[in-house]
């Protein structure tokens, strides 16, 4: 990976955050991820000789985000 220039580094801190980035940051603050992942961990298949399972975090976060959005939409009606 190439080293970024000073101009790129300065611009990276000044760009406007997207709605998606703001939403994901708020979800990180609201949802206690570590206890949830510990709760789901016993049901996650262990790595064996075959294909490695997906990381639990990458599967559970999008599902929980979508469910929270759906409940927000239902409550706003």
At 29-49, the pLDDT tens digits run 887 778 888 888 888 777 787
Q: What mean pLDDT is predicted for residues 48-74?
A: 75
Q: Is 23 exposed, middle or buried (0-12, 13-18, 19+ CB in 10 A)?
A: middle
Going by pLDDT thresholds of 50, 70 and 90, the confidence category of residue 6 is confident
| pTM value surpassing 0.85 | no
Helices 19-30 & 56-76, crossing angle to 10 degrees?
100
């Amino acid at each position: 990976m190439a080293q970024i220039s000073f101009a790129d580094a300065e611009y990276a801190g000044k760009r406007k955050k997207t709605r998606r980035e703001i939403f994901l940051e708020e979800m990180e603050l609201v949802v206690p991820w570590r206890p949830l992942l510990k709760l789901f961990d016993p049901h996650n298949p262990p790595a064996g000789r075959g294909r490695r399972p997906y990381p639990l975090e990458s599967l559970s976060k999008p599902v929980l985000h979508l469910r929270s959005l759906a409940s927000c939409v239902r409550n706003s009606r």
